[in-house]
Amino acid sequence: MAQNRHSLKDVAKRADVSVATVSRYLNGFLELPDGTRGRIDRAVADLDYRPNPHARRLSLGRSDTFALIIPDIANPFFSRLAAAMEACAAERGKMVTLHATMNRSDREIAALENASQNLVDGLVFITNHMPPPEVAERINRFSRAIVLDEDVKDARAPRVLCDNEQGGFLAGQVLYEAGHRNVAYIGGREDLFSTSARLEGLRRGMQGIAPLRSYVDDHAAASGRELAQRFLKDCDGETALFVGSDELTVGVLEVFRAQGVRVPEDISLVSFDNVRSLHLFAPAITAVEQPVDIMGRRAIEMLLDGDWDDPKFLETTELLPVRLIERQSVSAPNPITRKA
């Protein structure tokens, strides 16, 4: 990497003072008369001195780094979150490291272990499955951790979530108003907080009608395909589908297209996230939009500015508002092609 790095000692020697003086001055803990200050400033400039961050971190016991533990970086929802977090962290002089888990508990534990060894200044944890208790335990060992997007049982850490209940409600409402009375939900497992919130909202939006459901552990197009197949087999008069993420929607649409199931003629569909270019799909897909960028920024802001001494703060849950983007994938149920 860089070649002729100079150390504090070099600066001190050149400015004819002690290293302690230089260190304290550079860190703003020492006022100096003009003469001394000038000599130090000049020495720093002449030598192009930059403190060695490793030494600094060893001494200070911190890392100036946040660890982002994320199911899948290639998934647009998470990559948008990551982008927002990186931007916010960079503005505040912090770095971020990336750790993909693919929602596997062993990877989550390994990533947490890694982050803890590295003495990160903060942790943002995202998962899409119900991790074993060990994961929450490990999260709780961090003095600064944020749980993002999906609640984690027994984690003592502030949460930044979207308003899943409201999202479900908006989807239910638009479907109910279009005339649907029999809808199915495809998404995360029922033991997830987000899932039960969405289902609750959906039911409320549907005036109390509960949906047929299919679940998976992850949000990936492949899972969407699998669930779509299962749905087409199990389907009993459903005229609409509420899908838990754009990734799943992609898989679902692939299967529908392959099997000649038309949206919205045969079945209406509402997606969740709105991070893919759903407006260009055939048909354009109606979706509940998550405030992705705001969620990412909030997570980092809380890490930096939260009142971490207040035990109450750890109980915080910040619920960010979602909104419905209406497009062309919802229509009135079609009695002719409606399945038995």
The contact set with DNA (CB under 7 A) reads 5, 7-9, 16-21, 23-24, 26-27, 29-33, 35-36, 49-52, 54-56, 58-61
Query: Which of these, 216, 199, 288, 279, lies nearest to 252 by C-alpha position?
Result: 216
Using CB under 8 A as the binding rule, the residues of this chain from 191 to 210 that contact a copy of itself are none
Structure tokens belonging to residue 48: 């192009």
Binding mask 299-338 for a copy of itself (x = CB under 8 A): ----------------------------------------
Query: What are the φ/ψ torsions at residue 2 (nearest 5 degrees)?
Result: -65, 160
Contact partner, 179, from DNA, a copy of itself, none, Cβ < 5-8 Å per class: none
Q: Does 291 bind a copy of itself (CB under 8 A)?
A: no
User: Considering the complex, what minimum distance in angstroms separates the CB of residue 73 from DNA?
Assistant: 30
Binding mask 80-109 for a copy of itself (x = CB under 8 A): x-xxx-xx--x----xxxxxx---------
**Three-state DSSP class for residue 241:** strand
For residues 320 and 291, is the Cβ–Cβ distance under 8 A?
yes
Contact partner, 21, from a copy of itself, DNA, none, Cβ < 5-8 Å per class: DNA
User: Considering the complex, what minimum distance in angstroms separates the CB of residue 24 from DNA?
Assistant: 5
Contact partner, 340, from DNA, a copy of itself, none, Cβ < 5-8 Å per class: none
Q: Judged by CB, which is closer to DNA: 5, or 279?
A: 5
Q: Does 65 bind a copy of itself (CB under 8 A)?
A: yes
CA distance 97 to 112: 12
Q: Judged by CB, which is closer to a copy of itself: 282, or 332?
A: 282
Q: Judged by CB, which is closer to DNA: 10, or 149?
A: 10
First to last CA, the chain: 68
For residues 139 and 111, is the Cβ–Cβ distance under 8 A?
no
CA distance 291 to 84: 11
Query: Which of these, 89, 107, 40, 82, lies nearest to 302 by C-alpha position?
Result: 89
Instruction: Compute how many other C-beta atoms are within 10 angstroms of the C-beta atom of residue 308.
Output: 15
Contact partner, 80, from a copy of itself, DNA, none, Cβ < 5-8 Å per class: a copy of itself
Query: DSSP assignment of 113-142, as one string?
Result: HHHHHTT-SEEEE--SS---HHHHHHHHTS
Q: Does 6 bind a copy of itself (CB under 8 A)?
A: no
Query: DSSP assignment of 292-321, as one string?
Result: HHHHHHHHHHHHHHS-TT-GGGGG-EEEE-
Per CB under 8 A, residues contacting a copy of itself are 1-3, 50, 52-55, 57-58, 61, 63, 65, 72-74, 76, 79-80, 82-84, 86-87, 90, 95-100, 114-120, 141-143, 221, 250, 253-254, 257, 276-277, 279-284
